[in-house]
Amino acid sequence: DNGSEVRVFVRIRPTARFAQELIEYLPDGETINIRQRRDSKRDVVNNQLSSRSFRMSGVLHDVSQEDVYNTVAHNVVLGALEGYNGTIMCFGQTGAGKTYTMTGATESYRQRGLIPRAIQQVFSEVENRYSYSFTIHLSYLEIYNETLLDLLSSVRGTRAEPGGLAVVEEARGGVSVKGLSLHPVHNEDEALNLLFEGEMNRVIGSHAMNKNSSRSHCILTIYMESHSRTLSDARYITAKLNLVDLAGSERLGKTGSEGKEQKEAMSINRSLSFLEQTILALADRRREHVPFRQSKLTHSLRDSLGGNCNTILVANIYGEAAHIEETLTTLRFASRMKCIKTEPAVNEHIDP
At closest approach, how far in Å is the CB of 162 from ligand ADP? 33
Residues in the interface with ligand ADP (CB under 6 A) total: 14
Rg (Cα) of the chain, in Å, rounded?
Answer: 21
Closer to ligand ADP by Cβ: residue 90 or 138: 90
At closest approach, how far in Å is the CB of 309 from ligand ADP? 23
CA end-to-end span of the chain: 36
**Ramachandran angles phi, psi of 255, nearest 5°:** -125, 135
Which position among 91, 100, 274, 292 is part of the footprint of ligand ADP (CB under 6 A)?
Answer: 100
At closest approach, how far in Å is the CB of 159 from ligand ADP? 32
Cα–Cα distances in angstroms (integers) from residue 76 to residues 11, 226, 237, 239, 265, in the given order: 18, 17, 16, 11, 32
**Ramachandran angles phi, psi of 121, nearest 5°:** -65, -40
Spatial distance between the Cα atoms of 168 and 202, rounded to a whole number of angstroms: 24
At closest approach, how far in Å is the CB of 105 from ligand ADP? 5
At closest approach, how far in Å is the CB of 216 from ligand ADP? 11
Spatial distance between the Cα atoms of 78 and 122, rounded to a whole number of angstroms: 8
- Give the residue ranges of DSSP H helices in 3-104: 41-46, 65-72, 74-81, 98-102
Which residues inside 288-347 make contact with ligand ADP, applying CB under 6 A? 316
At closest approach, how far in Å is the CB of 245 from ligand ADP? 7
Which position among 7, 13, 117, 323 is part of the footprint of ligand ADP (CB under 6 A)?
Answer: 13
Closer to ligand ADP by Cβ: residue 7 or 13: 13
Which residues inside 161-200 make contact with ligand ADP, applying CB under 6 A? none
**Ramachandran angles phi, psi of 338, nearest 5°:** -65, -20
Q: Determine, following the binding rule CB under 6 A, whether residue 135 of this chain makes contact with ligand ADP.
A: no
DSSP-assigned beta bridge partners for residue 32: 25, 54
Q: Determine, following the binding rule CB under 6 A, whether residue 92 of this chain makes contact with ligand ADP.
A: yes
Which position among 105, 160, 168, 322 is part of the footprint of ligand ADP (CB under 6 A)?
Answer: 105
Closer to ligand ADP by Cβ: residue 151 or 167: 151
At closest approach, how far in Å is the CB of 331 from ligand ADP? 15
At closest approach, how far in Å is the CB of 168 from ligand ADP? 29
Q: Determine, following the binding rule CB under 6 A, whether residue 223 of this chain makes contact with ligand ADP.
A: no
Spatial distance between the Cα atoms of 146 and 158, rounded to a whole number of angstroms: 23
Closer to ligand ADP by Cβ: residue 14 or 173: 14
Nearest to 306 by CA among 113, 89, 151, 114: 89
Spatial distance between the Cα atoms of 337 and 155, rounded to a whole number of angstroms: 36
57-81 CB burial, b ≥16 within 10 A, e <16: bbbbbebebeebbebbbebbbebbb
Which position among 30, 36, 75, 95 is part of the footprint of ligand ADP (CB under 6 A)?
Answer: 95
Which residues contribute to the site for ligand ADP (CB under 6 A)?
13-14, 92, 94-100, 105, 214, 248, 316
